Structure 1
Amino acid sequence: MPHEIRIIRERKKDFLELLLLADEQENMIDLYLDRGELFALYDGGLKSVCVVTEETSDTCELKNLATLPAYQRQGYARALIRHISQYYRGHYRTMLVGTGETPGTLSFYESCGFVRSHRIPDFFTDHYHHSIVEEGITLKDMVYLKKEL
């Protein structure tokens, strides 16, 4: 797949509409966008973005991964995960990702080499102003997966 991945260092908020597809509340995105690195995948135009933050000296976290709806299930998010895994290999030992407990999302991350790690009870009910429903499931706990780099 011929594509280009760029690190976006300025005007990260220009990507807010796409970031909101993966994290529905702007104030939650604001907690990590400035301190994270934003990667944008282009293939004849913007297709997908992700944000990665440093959590400890040997752990980074994939905080947001979003693909425009018309281009989902075409390998763009998987290509971004492959890219950031290579990019951060040697700098961090572990990459975390936290997500809701939805079968499709969990199986996607597991197919990208992540394994289940731990959970934060009531994360979505405690931190979001409204209920978030994905795949017909109301999100409650944050499920963390990890990948050794």
Structure 2
Amino acid sequence: MKIENITSNKKQFIDLLLLADEQESMIDKYLEEGDMFALYNDDLKSICVVRKEDEGIYELKNIATYEKYQGQGYGKQLIDYIFEHYNQKCKTMFVGTGDSPLTINFYEHCGFIISHCVKNFFVENYDHAIFEGGKQLIDMVYLKRDA
């Protein structure tokens, strides 16, 4: 297994990024200024984008694993890697996600705790309704993990 820092041609991974954030215009808001990491185990399994928000504050903007590889620990390995990568710079890492037990449980398993909520985020910022697990996502739930 290897993890690479992707510094150019980040759009080549758009198919995978769209699994976690299904509107390309939203991805465009953070893709170029964020740091991208790709996890390979023979072939590409997972990708993530992390952006510095303030001194010591970072946000995991996107993390996605191809569906056929989900549940095999690749996402957690990538999160563990980024905490090691940013260990001297990051005091707190945030991640925003929909109010879905599937994703919230994943982040809690990775050591995050619920921080706050942004009401109506998905309704006001996306041009179509977003569904996960049969439930429409309305609010953005932020979780945080201190380094």
Measured after TM superposition, the shift of residue 54 of structure 1 is 0.3
Q: Which amino acid aligns with 2:76?
A: R
> Which residues of structure 2 form unaligned runs of 5+?
none
**Moved beyond 2 Å, runs of 4+:** none
| Secondary structure in 2 matching 1:41 | strand
- Displacement of 1:90 in angstroms is 1.6
After TM superposition, give the deviation of residue 136 of structure 1 in Å.
1.4
- In the other structure, the counterpart of 1:129 is 127
Within 2, Cα distance between the matches of 1:100 and 1:43? Answer: 28
TM-score between both structures, scaled by the size of structure 1:
0.97
Q: Kindly tell me the number of residue pairs found equivalent between the two proteins.
A: 147
Once the two structures are TM-superposed, the CA of residue 92 in structure 1 deviates from its matched residue by: 1.3
User: 75, 91, 94: which one pairs with 2:92?
Assistant: 94
TM-score, scaled to structure 2: 0.99
Query: Cα distance, 1:10 vs. partner?
Result: 0.5
CA distance in 1, matches of 2:9, 2:89: 25
1:55 aligns with 2:53: yes
Q: How does 1:1-149 map to 2 (within 5 A)?
A: 3-149=1-147
CA distance in 1, matches of 2:146, 2:87: 9
Q: Please provide the CA RMSD for this pair.
A: 0.5
Measure, in 2, the Cα distance between the counterparts of 1:72 and 1:107: 14
Percent of aligned pairs sharing the same letter? 52
- In structure 1, runs of 5+ residues without a counterpart are none
Give CA-to-partner distance per residue, 1:72-102, whole Å, 9 cap, x none: 1100001000000111112010000000000
Displacement of 1:27 in angstroms is 0.4
Q: In structure 1, what residue type is equivalent to 2:84?
A: Q
Helix, strand or coil at the partner of 1:54 = strand
